[in-house]
Structure 1
Amino acid sequence: MPAAFLADQFGTLLDGRNASVSGDVRRVLGRGAGTFGEFAEREAAAGAWK
């Protein structure tokens, strides 16, 4: 892929327009959103990587 294409795509993805938080996770899943660290700790404790 040309570098200009990638720069344009990542510029659009990371320009801040996606930085807002909505209530969609809570509405769809019935629980609040969590961090990746919380997910990793929970799954490690459950034996996901043994």
Structure 2
Amino acid sequence: RAHNDANVLSIGARVVGIGLAEEIVTTFLSTAFEGGRHARRVAQLTELENEF
């Protein structure tokens, strides 16, 4: 999320307990996109998405 501005999180229910899953989700949701050098890559992906 910090590097690619992701809006999707996947957690394996068979390998991650509920407590850890809650921590992961909290961290994911509170992490902001850093922008900067990563913004160029995100812009490239956005351009590709717009082609389809």
TM-score calculated relative to the size of structure 2 = 0.40
Larger Rg: 1
Which of structures 1 and 2 has the larger relative contact order (alpha carbons within 8 angstroms, sep 6+)?
2
TM-score calculated relative to the size of structure 1 = 0.41
